[in-house]
Amino acid sequence: DVKVTQSSRYLVKRTGEKVFLECVQDMDHENMFWYRQDPGLGLRLIYFSYDVKMKEKGDIPEGYSVSREKKERFSLILESASTNQTSMYLCASSLLWGYENYGYTFGSGTRLTVV
């Protein structure tokens, strides 16, 4: 089975801290994505990457950055955490579009609370 692993299930951080959320996939997928999920808003795309060192902004990139130094790892960085970044963060991966269109494989999510 394809696995997408997010390093933490629950995190509590203080306002102003720099926060790293890590995601690793083991199926050699080209694409990786970070979403945040909030009640009533569904999933909103923060950033995605279609290759090592490549990244593109999603719909809500403000306050976030990403890093993809290796194909299997995609990190989301909150430069200075704020309370409005309290949310569930979901990482996903997929094959390059145009090949098997199986959609995404998701990690289990990281529930981040900023206090």
- Contact residues: another protein, CB under 8 A: 4, 9, 31, 33, 35, 40-43, 45, 48, 50, 58, 90, 92, 94, 96-97, 101-109, 111
Nearest residue (CB) to another protein, 17 versus 26: 26
Shortest Å, Cβ 85 to another protein: 19
- Comparing CA positions, the residue from 46, 54, 1 lying closest to residue 19 is 46
C-alpha neighbours within 13 Å on the C-beta side of residue 79:
7
Closest approach of Cβ 75 to another protein, in Å?
A: 17
Angle at 70 between CA 52 and CA 44, to 5 degrees: 65
Q: Which is nearer to another protein, 96 or 115 (CB)?
A: 96
Measured in whole angstroms, the distance separating CA 49 from the mean position of its chain's CA atoms is 10
